Amino acid sequence: MTTSDWPLELVVADTAALTAEIRSLTLKSIDGGPLPAFSAGAHLLFQVELGDGGPSPGTPEASRPGERCYSLVNSTDQSGYYEIAVKLETAGSGGSRFMHALKPGDRIRATLPKNDFPLHRDQHEALLIAGGIGITPILSMTAELSEQGAAYRLHYASRSPETMAYQARITQLCGERRHLHFDYGDPSQGMPLAEVIGQPASNRHLYVCGPRPLLDAVIATARALQWASSHVHFELFGAPLSQTGDRPCRVVLQRSGMTLDVPAEKSILDAMIDAGIDPMFDCRRGECSVCAVRVLSGTPEHRDYALSDDDRDHENLMCVCVSRAREGELVLDA
């Protein structure tokens, strides 16, 4: 991406430690002018430097540029600033280390706000579920719903009170509508999802954001309780590119006449891009289905959240940004 792809040049106005691992950043425009508006659930894509040891921003040791998405928290107070929160991922590739190293006065480039996780437009009762750093878009939603006088409940899970960000703000904003859950490292003591989610209703919508295990469990529980998929909205934080036990796979692209040997740590989508193919894609998290292609032979291991059972079983589609071969070789109509 070129400079024109990063229209916002922002300056760090303030930072604050929310927990031992989560830091908030307040960002303003370089000239102090107004920033583009956004709605609850929106995010910014930032240009970051991915270094070997997390060097300070702007130093020559910072290696190749990268991209990281962070949700905007301040949907109801857009008086010239953006607020984000970043969890330090010590095992990551360096993006969160770069963001944590930013200090007041540092500059960073970003795209315009984009919202892939909006609130449903019509009046409804909202059930909000957040896990860990997934609270950021959910907190923005609670602020907007509170301002509208809408009905909602917030369930927020973390390992312990010490690891939970924004507790004071949530208590002040949500009052008795907030329910905090701590498992202290024991998953069996986690959020009772069936009880929390409850029975579906035409005017109820469910919103969930957090790590993949929580997202999977919430979606599976809602499906078991017969919630309509159109009433379940989600955003995944920390989607892993690879999973434990992944193996290399071979992918034949029939129309392109190419065979790709895809390493365990690389997605089929990235292997296609590296080979000079120009596939369509957007989210890279298996949430949008833009990258879906038809499987001509072989058995895919579906890891997306976008395709229906009919898409998978009858249309033979798979999302190449996250899904892989269950075993053997895949032949794709690409």
pLDDT at 65: 55
- Asked whether the predicted pLDDT for residue 64 surpasses 90, the reply is no
Tell me what the pLDDT averaged over the chain comes to.
90
* CATH code for the domain of 221: 3.40.50.80
Q: Tell me, yes or no, whether 226 and 261 share the same domain.
A: no
Q: Are residues 253 and 232 in the same domain?
A: no
Can you tell me the mean pLDDT for 203-223? Answer: 94
pLDDT in tens, 17-41: 999 999 999 999 999 899 999 999 9
- State whether 163 and 217 are in the same domain: yes
Residue 241 lies in a domain: no
pLDDT recorded at residue 39: 96
At 56, the pLDDT band (50, 70, 90 cuts) reads very low
For residue 254, the enclosing domain spans: 249-332
pLDDT value for 1: 52
**pLDDT tens sequence across 255-305:** 999 999 999 989 999 999 999 999 998 888 888 899 999 999 999 999 988
CA distances in angstroms from 224 to 71, 76, 219, 221, 309, listed in the order given: 29, 35, 9, 5, 15
Bridge partners of 87? 22
- Rounded to whole angstroms, the Cα distance separating 291 from 253 reads 14
**Cβ(234)–Cβ(207) under 8 Å?**
yes
Domain stop point among 212, 236, 260: 236
Place of tokens 């009880």: 195
pLDDT for residue 62 is more than 80: no
CA distances from 23 to 16, 28, 236 (A): 6, 17, 19
Extract long-range pairs of 60-67: CB within 8 Å, 24+ residues apart: 62/98, 66/93, 66/94, 66/95, 67/1
**Other C-beta atoms lying within 10 Å of the C-beta of residue 63:** 12
Tokens read off for 331: 């032949």
97 shares its domain with 158: no
Q: What would the two tokens of residue 129 be?
A: 């579920």
When pLDDT is averaged across residues 313-320 and rounded to a whole number, the result is: 95
pTM: 0.82
pLDDT of the residue at 3? 62
Three-class DSSP category at 311: helix
185-194 mean pLDDT: 91
